[in-house]
Amino acid sequence: MEAPKAAASSKASAIVVDANTGKTLYSSNADAQRFPASLTKMMTLYMLFEAMEAGKVSKSTPIPVSAYAAGQPPTKIGFKPGQTISAEAAILSVITKSANDSATAIGEYLGGSEQRFAQMMTNKARQLGMRNTTFRNASGLPNPQQRSSARDLALLGIALREHFPQYYDYFSTRSFSYRGRRIAGHNRLLGKVRGVDGIKTGYTRDSGFNLVSSVNVDGKKMVAVVMGGTSGGARDAQMAKLIEQYLPGASRRDGGNLLASRKNSKVQVAAIDLPEEEDAPMPVQREEVVAKTSNVVTATAYASAPAQASPAAQILRVPTPTARADVAEAEEAADVDPVTTASAPEKSSAIGWMVQIGSMGSDDDAKAILARAASEVGGPVGSLAPYTEKFQKGSATYYRARFTGIASAKAANNACVALKRQNFNCFAIAPQS
């Protein structure tokens, strides 16, 4: 009967940090890499707060929800592609419901694509001193390469309070109303353990039950992290015990900004120019006559979109791999997503169906990811012809990475299925008639 306990404990780690002095009050496997699950969303919100502080985003900025973001597994709000959510509502939905669709929409809006946003998140982690952290998505959905540590997440918790005191109260939100629906939060310690004012819960099967808690009692401030709990109740009980045990020894003396090295963390909200609020890219509204073939959805009647919106919208629609639902509250997810299609340039009619796996900053990068995909996926992808296509977004140049020479919708679907299973982006592109 001891084996299951040992298996569970292999995921466990914890830390308690005095947020006034930076002193570690308790540590257990605090530097071991773990799956952060939805604790990832702390960094997603850090990036959004930074964009708000820089004046690039306001609380009322409408954030578009792409088909990819809307298709994320639960937990989620349940958007339809093309809808929008205000930045403030997105923040509240991420904090309370841990909404994967909202987090993904934030990532696509700030980074142009979720893949690029994950690179930005990782860069920011390094600037903050999070040495054991790598991000691969905005939501925390399962990805074997997405890792962090208890110590890194405690540092991020402190950074959120210190760098964005004007937004930090969002983390104490227990519920909020959205479009007439009350959405309750997952953080059970709010209002139950004295002094707890946030921050975030998380769970996947591989991570176990995670929690970051911030405490502020009579000037004593702590951030505590518990990872790898065997259940939500056990995780919460461990956190409450750590707070009870170590809060008496915490300092009331404010040691100043522990992360004053933010001077090395220059505000840079995106790898591409973030649009001004009134020019924010929105999903193109269109009327569709839909034909389904082997799970490929092809839009055959498109409404024309404003010319100035299309380059940014094209970047926003670059998809990334959708993981299967692995969240405690999740519904059962389908094994394979339907493949979203887009219309190709006229010149592509001669080369049949295509599949796109990303938009890169250089032609060499686009060719490199195509070569890696062909090598790692093989099968229905290895024999396809690589193709790159240059396009402009404002003053920046990007290159679409595509495979061409695909004979049918079914073959394009099969290629996308194989690519997604190996964690490559993919959507199919129908030839224009």
Question: Is residue 184 classed as helix, strand or coil in its secondary structure?
Answer: strand
Residue predicted with more confidence, 351 or 285: 351
pLDDT (mean) for 403-429: 85
Question: Is residue 287 classed as helix, strand or coil in its secondary structure?
Answer: coil
Confidence of residue 368 (pLDDT cuts 50, 70, 90): confident
Structure tokens at 242: 């750590």
User: Would you say 45 and 160 are in contact if contact means Cβ atoms under 8 Å apart?
Assistant: yes
Which tens digits make up the pLDDT trace of 75-94? Answer: 999 999 999 999 999 999 99
Rounded-to-integer distance, Cα 368 and Cα 20, Å: 47
- Angle formed at CA 121 by CA 395 and CA 12, multiple of 5 degrees: 165
Domain layout of the chain by residue ranges: 2-264, 284-430
Rounded-to-integer distance, Cα 423 and Cα 15, Å: 32
* Residue 227 backbone phi and psi in degrees, to 5: -130, 145
Rounded-to-integer distance, Cα 3 and Cα 45, Å: 38
- In the prediction, which pLDDT does 432 show? 63
Torsion of CA 424, 427, 432, 433, to 10 degrees: 110
- In the prediction, which pLDDT does 271 show? 34
| 236 contacts: CB under 8 Å, gap ≥ 6 | 188, 189, 211
Rounded-to-integer distance, Cα 111 and Cα 269, Å: 8
Q: Decide if 2-264 and 284-430 have a common fold.
A: no
pLDDT beyond 70 at 281: no
| 304 contacts: CB under 8 Å, gap ≥ 6 | none
Residue predicted with more confidence, 311 or 231: 231
Q: What is the CATH number of domain 2-264?
A: 3.40.710.10
* Residue 198 backbone phi and psi in degrees, to 5: 145, -175
Confidence of residue 433 (pLDDT cuts 50, 70, 90): low
Helix (H) or strand (E) holding 363: helix 363-377
23 is in an annotated binding site: no
- Going from the C-alpha of 302 to that of each of 251, 268, 289, 299, 318, the distances in angstroms are 62, 36, 9, 7, 19
User: Would you say 298 and 47 are in contact if contact means Cβ atoms under 8 Å apart?
Assistant: no
- In the prediction, which pLDDT does 351 show? 59
User: Would you say 430 and 353 are in contact if contact means Cβ atoms under 8 Å apart?
Assistant: yes
pLDDT beyond 80 at 39: yes
Q: For the chain, give the percent of residues with pLDDT over 90.
A: 49
Question: Is residue 255 classed as helix, strand or coil in its secondary structure?
Answer: coil
The candidate with the shortest Cα–Cα distance to 272, out of 134, 141, 391, 140, is 391
Confidence of residue 181 (pLDDT cuts 50, 70, 90): confident
Which tens digits make up the pLDDT trace of 197-229? Answer: 989 999 998 999 999 999 999 999 999 999 999
Rounded-to-integer distance, Cα 19 and Cα 247, Å: 11
Which tens digits make up the pLDDT trace of 87-116? Answer: 999 999 999 999 999 999 999 999 999 999
User: Would you say 162 and 260 are in contact if contact means Cβ atoms under 8 Å apart?
Assistant: no
SS3 per-residue string spanning 92-121? HHHHHCCCHHHHHHHHHHHHCCHHHHHHHH
Q: Catalytic residue numbers?
A: 38, 41, 98
Question: Scanning the structure block, which residue is given the tokens 């992290």?
Answer: 225
> Hey, what long-range contacts does 381-389 have (CB within 8 A, 24 or more apart)?
381/415, 381/418, 381/419, 384/355, 384/415, 385/351, 387/351, 387/354, 388/363, 389/345
pLDDT (mean) for 265-273: 36
Q: Per mean pLDDT, which range of 69-73, 324-328, 365-369 is the poorest?
A: 324-328
- In the prediction, which pLDDT does 367 show? 86
Q: Per mean pLDDT, which range of 49-58, 70-79, 266-275 is the poorest?
A: 266-275
User: Would you say 346 and 429 are in contact if contact means Cβ atoms under 8 Å apart?
Assistant: no
Confidence of residue 325 (pLDDT cuts 50, 70, 90): very low
Rounded-to-integer distance, Cα 346 and Cα 252, Å: 67
pLDDT (mean) for 293-316: 30
Q: Which CATH architecture has domain 284-430?
A: 2-Layer Sandwich (3.30)
Confidence of residue 358 (pLDDT cuts 50, 70, 90): confident
pTM: 0.62
pLDDT beyond 50 at 307: no
How far is residue 281 CA from its own chain's centroid?
A: 19
- In the prediction, which pLDDT does 16 show? 97
Q: At what angle do helices 150-163 and 41-53 cross, to 10 degrees?
A: 20
Q: For the chain, give the percent of residues with pLDDT over 70.
A: 75
Confidence of residue 291 (pLDDT cuts 50, 70, 90): very low
Q: What is the DSSP string of 28-69?
A: ESTTS-B--GGGGHHHHHHHHHHHHHTTS--TTPEEE--HHH
pLDDT beyond 70 at 270: no
Confidence of residue 136 (pLDDT cuts 50, 70, 90): very high
pLDDT (mean) for 274-283: 34
How far is residue 348 CA from its own chain's centroid?
A: 32
